[in-house]
Structure 1
Amino acid sequence: MTNAALHVARTGLDAQQERMQVIANNIANVNTTGFKRDRANFQTLAYQYMKEPGATSSGDDKYTQGAALGTGVKMTGTSRSDTQGSLNQTGNALDVAIQGNGFFQVQQPDGTTAYTRDGNFSLSSEGQITTADGRALVPNIQVPQGVTNITIGADGTVSATAAGSTEATQLGKIQLASFTNPTGLKSVGDNLLTETQASGAPQVGDAGTEGRGSIEQGSLEASNVNVVEELVDMIETQRAYEVNSKMIKATDEMLQFANQQI
């Protein structure tokens, strides 16, 4: 049984190390635009039953309690918290944030669509509105040369005023995608998420409709990471790791004692 205790303690070390990596990633992205913090989820491993509850003890009597030995813990996955991050004013006409639910759509190099809360957009040499690394916004919005002012409404309508003109011309509309289960989206790096079977298909529409949030021009959404909470979780994880380490040491000492006495 002491060998089993070593195995259980080892699973505890692995689980806490994985949780620490999740926390470290949250802290590392505290200043990443639109980043959503992750939480590690755990689950018990299979139990070994020495005595089944309800089994016959003697005669017609039955055990009211079982005797179960746990075999450890494992991390089952991570849950992304989609709570709203604070909006930071930038004054940049192409910086946009989503107040509420929804994701911007950008085109991947392979032609597929990815989703992001990072509204730090800019113009390409051809006048397309793109992400910082050149991925075009979907639907594509082309800004002509000579524009002096770009306005983005709360519903995503993009308008521009040409030099020498007093009237704005509508260039297109930024649409948002929403999902039945946004936590089921797959993180692929570069502030991007992709659709999965768990997330469901995207429902694309105008901002401010069917539960989608509104668009705020001149703002960027900060990450929703709370550094104080992450530090508390880090200390808790460190203490749990230390306790599992002590369990391995204590079990090893028990084995040494047994070997010396035999």
Structure 2
Amino acid sequence: MLDAIARNNKNSNMPNEMLAVIFFEETGFCNVQQAGKNGPAVGFGQIEVGNRDKFRFYKWLNDPDLILTDDFMAKLKQEKLDPPALKMKQSIQEKVKTKMLGSKEYSVMMSCKYFEFLSTVDGMKLEGLIGAQISSHTEYRTRFAEGYQLLRKALNLTGITAGQLRDELINALNHAKRRGAGESSSNKNNPIPKDHFKSFWNWMLPDDWLAGRPGVVAPGNTISANHPNGLPAVQ
């Protein structure tokens, strides 16, 4: 997933590691469709594909499969969609959903390009981009910020084994899924613990990928078995 994000996230104000944290919190790195108040929420980053503002993005994207006429855009802006315009809206929405669910790379690209659109067209900085993602769920502003820092730190550790790096990455990715100490008990708390989902994590963070990361060494050659990196114990 980190590699796919790096390939597609070129011109946005959203750091790659923050995107990874968002994708994992939203879907556990699964390319799925879920219910959304503005149409189905689709893909790793759960884009609400029927949201009115997304059609500005589709127009900007210039995807030959997602052609939107100027007449349609004018009607959408005026909130006066006649039957032909409604048909076009539904058709484009369905095409976006189908293309995203049909290709993991396209799904990653769409989330990356959406943040690029917000960055370059609407001039949003990181705080604004996070706001666009979380809407009214303000607790995620802190969760994402902390998870981002933990993930960056984990990816830059040196002198650790592949297994130790996996543990650090699990902690970092799960952070945004954990309810904070000061949060309401009604807020989501759904980390994916290593001990209960070992096969999932071995598949998600495979040994060969981990072993190829900078700073990873063979077992027995670690600087220390317990790095003073400030990360919590694996849960």
TM-score category, normalised to shorter length: under 0.3
- TM score, norm. by length of structure 2: 0.24
Q: Of the two, which has the highest radius of gyration?
A: 1
Instruction: Pick 1 or 2: higher relative contact order, CA cutoff 8 A, min separation 6.
Output: 1
TM-score under structure 1 length normalisation: 0.22
More strand by share: 1
The structure where helix makes up a greater share of residues is: 2
